[in-house]
Copies of this chain bind each other. A is one copy, B any other.
Amino acid sequence: MSHPSAAEAIAARAATIITRCRELARITDVPGETTRHFLSPATRDAHTLITGWMRQAGLQTRVDDVGNLRATRLSALSNAHTFVLFSHIDTVTNAGAFDGPLGVLLGLAAIEQLGATPLPFHIELIAFSEEEGMRFGFPFLSSLAATGKLTTDHLARTDSDGISVAEAITSFGLDPARIPTTCPLAPNTFAAVEVHIEQGPVLEKSDSALAVVSAIVGQSRLELTFQGQANHAGTTPMSLRSDALAAAAQWIVDVEHYAANYTQLVATVGRITTLPGAINIVPGTVHATLDVRHPKDESRHAAIAHLLAKAEAAGALRGVQVHAVVQSEQHAVPMDRNLTHHLHQAAARAGYDAEPIFSGAGHDAMILAAAVPTTMLFLRTPGGLSHHPDENVRPEDVEAALTTVLNLLLHLHPHPGTNQQR
């Protein structure tokens, strides 16, 4: 019996990645679904399962003091620098199998495929413990710890049972006091790559397997209040109304229209409530949310200013006052240009046209980018569906991603011109 061809080996490994993701998805805190929140009992079982696979691959493993599972493939080279492959293994409630775990298990498969191939750098594979922010209402706690940005405020946050982050860490058998010692990335880390599903419909629409991420969008969240006058729906003629909902509705149409005509902008009104909210009363007050995202901060700010002016104008036509409050702002994070270019080339060598895309969702890569040259590789997401049990990947796209990561590892040299930027 002959050895399998390279293509057959990759296909087999891609199948294993998917099988492992599905096996991991059965490890859950809520029977019948896939739910693994930060430092939960299922997280420990997930660590046990993945640690077994990592050790089979000959890797050294450890769990740092914020609960990240980390494995290292050492280079034979003295003073080798470190390349990081990462994603997360916590999930949203009732999640799919791939958002997070795919990046970890694809990284592991790449290392397995490398076998004994010598590389001039160490590889650290990190399974972050908290990306989704479900348990403490705050995402990225574990990548903040890895980049030295976790604060005592973060540690004092409490979950719905009143348990603090610090207490949860202790209960898991870890020590929050050791976070500064055990969590940071290796100081000689020269690049970090996260493989993740797109979670959107763009790649499917363009019939592409992969994309490289050029930036993670900045995001602003606002709440607008439209204050008109509640009135009897029968006795108040149209001309004598100050209908807060009519004003808000005109504005929502304006939001949609403006964003549709502005490249790379997305703007969403996701929630609206009417007061008093009776079928026979003209709405006096409307609360509406606004989520605006763009890969450039200045463009996002310009869009918000324009949209608030539109809200004012829609209100002014009807005697409706508009008040807006910014609830949160997150600046855009460009991915490392050089590393993204190398990743694009690695895909191209394998025959994939991984065009640049921006990520409309936040990722740990945003946090790591503040510390080390970082980029992301996106895989097509069937139906754009994520955060849902039906979340899926195509086997051929997993092969493409695995081949791309292998190509990157085999052609990358420490200090590929990226560190100079920092």
Give me the interface of A with B, judged by CB distance under 8 Å: 198-202, 205, 217, 219, 221, 231-240, 243, 245-246, 248-253, 255-256, 259-260, 265-274, 277-283, 289, 291, 293, 327, 359-362, 384, 386-387
Contact of A384 among B235, B283, B360, B361 (CB under 8 A): B235
Question: Are B266 and A283 closer than 8 Å at their CB atoms?
Answer: no
Does more than half of chain A's interface fall in helix, strand or loop, or is it mixed? Answer: mixed
Of B199, B248, B265, B267, which one neighbours A232 at CB under 8 angstroms?
B199
The contact of A249 among B233, B249, B274, by CB within 8 Å, is B249
Contact indicator A252/B245 (Cβ below 8 Å): yes
Taken together as a complex, chains A and B put the C-alpha atoms of A315 and B137 apart, in Å, by: 34
Interchain CB contact under 8 A, A271 and B266? no
- What 4 A-B pairs have minimum CB-CB distances, sorted nearest first? A200-B235, A234-B360, A249-B252, A233-B268
Nearest to A235 among chain B residues (CB) is B200
Is B250 in contact with A238, judged by CB distance below 8 angstroms?
no
Contacts of A251 on B, CB cut-off 8 Å? 249
Copies in the complex: 2
For A231, what are the chain B residues with a Cβ–Cβ distance below 8 Å? Answer: 201, 384
B282 touches A232 (CB 8 A): no
Are A200 and B232 touching (Cβ within 8 A)? Answer: yes
Q: Is the pair B250, A253 in contact by a Cβ cutoff of 8 Å?
A: yes
Q: A256–B280 Cα gap in the complex (Å)?
A: 15
Nearest neighbor of A293 in chain B, beta-carbon distance: B234
Contact call B281/A274, Cβ cutoff below 8 A:
no
CA distance A266 to B232 in the complex (A): 10
C-alpha gap A282/B252 in the complex (Å): 12
Contacts of A291 in B (CB 8 A): 233-234, 279-280
Complex CA gap A277/B271 in Å reads 5
User: Which B residues are in CB contact (< 8 Å) with A269?
Assistant: 245-246, 249, 283
Q: Which residues of B contact A273 (CB under 8 A)?
A: 272-273
Please indicate the chain B residues that have their CB under 8 angstroms from the CB of A293 in the complex.
233-234
Query: What residues on B are CB-neighbors of A266 within 8 Å?
Result: 233-234, 236-238
Q: Which B-chain residue is minimally distant from A314 (CB atoms)?
A: B253
Q: A240 with B384: in contact, given A232-B361, A233-B266, A250-B253 (CB under 8 Å)?
A: yes
Kindly identify which residue among B235, B260, B362 contacts A239, using a CB–CB cutoff of 8 Å.
B260
Chain B positions within 8 Å of A278 at CB level: 270-271
Residue of B nearest to A281 (CB): B270
Q: Which residue of B lies closest to A256 (CB)?
A: B246
Tell me whether B198 and A219 are in contact (CB under 8 A): no
A114 and B239 alpha carbons, distance in the complex (Å): 41
Closest chain B residue to A264, Cβ basis: B237
- B274 near A272 with CB under 8 A, answer yes
A202 touches B237 (CB 8 A): yes
B256→A268 contact, CB < 8 A: no
